[in-house]
C-alpha cells in the first residue's frame, strides 16, 4: 500500500507520516523534502522534479520488497499525476490524503518548530494555490485534531471496504 500525505507547509505531514508508518507494520516513511538535502545547490524549482523522481524510485524499491510506504509532500496536481503515473504498474492500493488546517493554524509556530518569514510566505502561497483543498484525495480539516486523531481518521479510511472512502 502507498499512502500519499499532502497539504501545505506546516500542515503536519511529517508528524502524521511518521506516526502512520509507526502504526502500520513494515511501512516506510519517505519524506520528499529530505531528498532536497542531496542537491542543496539547486534552486527549488529545479530540485522539485528530481526530488519527486527520487521519491518515486525509493517508494517503488520499498513496495517491490514487500513494504508499505507513506510518502509526504505538498503535492500540486502535476506532482500528484506524476506519482500516480510512476506507480501505475504496481499492484498496490494508493490512498491520498490532503491535510488542510486553517491558514492561521498553518502559520502558527507549533512545538519546537519556529517558522521563518520565508516559510510563512510559502505557506500563504500554498494556501493561495489550493494545496489545502487539492482536487484529489480525501481532504481532512486537521485544525482541531491531534496527530493521533488524524492518524486514526486515515487508518479508518484505508481500512474501510473498497469504494467507501470517497471524500
Q: Which domains does the chain carry?
A: 2-158 (3.40.50.300)
In terms of pTM, does the model score above 0.75? yes
**Cα–Cα distance between 154 and 73 in angstroms, integer?**
16
Average pLDDT, the chain: 92
- For the chain, 167 residues long, give each residue's pLDDT as a single digit of tens: 999 999 998 999 999 999 999 999 999 999 999 999 999 999 989 999 999 999 999 999 999 999 999 999 999 999 999 999 999 999 999 999 999 999 999 999 877 779 999 999 999 999 999 888 999 999 999 999 999 999 999 999 998 876 544 44
Amino acid at each position: 500500500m502507498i499512502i500519499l500525505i499532502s497539504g501545505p507547509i506546516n500542515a503536519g505531514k511529517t508528524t502524521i507520516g511518521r506516526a502512520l508508518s509507526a502504526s502500520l507494520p513494515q511501512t516506510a516513511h519517505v519524506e520528499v523534502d529530505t531528498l532536497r538535502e542531496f542537491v542543496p545547490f539547486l534552486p527549488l524549482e529545479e530540485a522539485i522534479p528530481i526530488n519527486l523522481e527520487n521519491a518515486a524510485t525509493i517508494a517503488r524499491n520499498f513496495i517491490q520488497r514487500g513494504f508499505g510506504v507513506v510518502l509526504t509532500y505538498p503535492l500540486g496536481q502535476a506532482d500528484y499525476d506524476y506519482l500516480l503515473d510512476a506507480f501505475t504498474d504496481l499492484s498496490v492500493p494508493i490512498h491520498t490524503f490532503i491535510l488542510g488546517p486553517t491558514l492561521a493554524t498553518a502559520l502558527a509556530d507549533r512545538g519546537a518548530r519556529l517558522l521563518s518569514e520565508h516559510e510563512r510566505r510559502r505557506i500563504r502561497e500554498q494556501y493561495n494555490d489550493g494545496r489545502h483543498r487539492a482536487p484529489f484525495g480525501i481532504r481532512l480539516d486537521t485544525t482541531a485534531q491531534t496527530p493521533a486523531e488524524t492518524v486514526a481518521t486515515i487508518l479508518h479510511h484505508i481500512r474501510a471496504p473498497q469504494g467507501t472512502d470517497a471524500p
